Amino acid sequence: MKTVRQLLERKGYGVETIEPAAAVYQALARMAEVNVGALVVVEGGEIRGLISERDSARKVVLKGRVSRETPVSEIMTRDIVCVEPSQPVEVCMALMTEKRVRHLPVLEAGRLIGIVSIGDLVKAIMDEQQFTIQQLELYVRNER
């Protein structure tokens, strides 16, 4: 079973962040620039929340707010779910499903070291399944 640490070693440990006082527009521009769907909101080295494209669509666009005038702190998700690098990918997938989230910041000793998305987890699980299929095919071929 693959762990979050193994996933991050392959994907990278980079985490895109933004401050709570920044405008939602700045957050969206940053997400587009680095091609991610969410940013961890950090202030003074502490995680304050998470802002995603979904937050913008539901809490700015649909409510008639202006993204250049709305601070990230007003729409960010504050109650975020975090994981540790030792957690298995399958456990993270179950957690995302249960909590209905698409991004999990990764903390080690209370420090933000990475982030995994639902896409990262799906890819890791598919890679593992593909490896298992290949091993089974080799086994079957050698049995003949």
pLDDT tens-digit readout, 13-54:
999 999 999 999 999 999 999 999 999 999 998 999 999 999
Q: Kindly list the domain boundaries of the chain, sorted by start residue.
A: 4-143
Q: The domain 4-143: what is its CATH number?
A: 3.10.580.10
- Concatenating the DSSP letter of every residue in the chain gives --BHHHHHHHH-----EE-TTSBHHHHHHHHHHHT-SEEEEEETTEEEEEEEHHHHIIIIITTT--TTTSBHHHHSB-S---B-TTSBHHHHHHHHHHHT-SEEEEEETTEEEEEEEHHHHHHHHHHHHHHHHHHHHHHHHHH-
| Model pTM above 0.75 | yes
pLDDT tens-digit readout, 108-117:
999 999 999 9
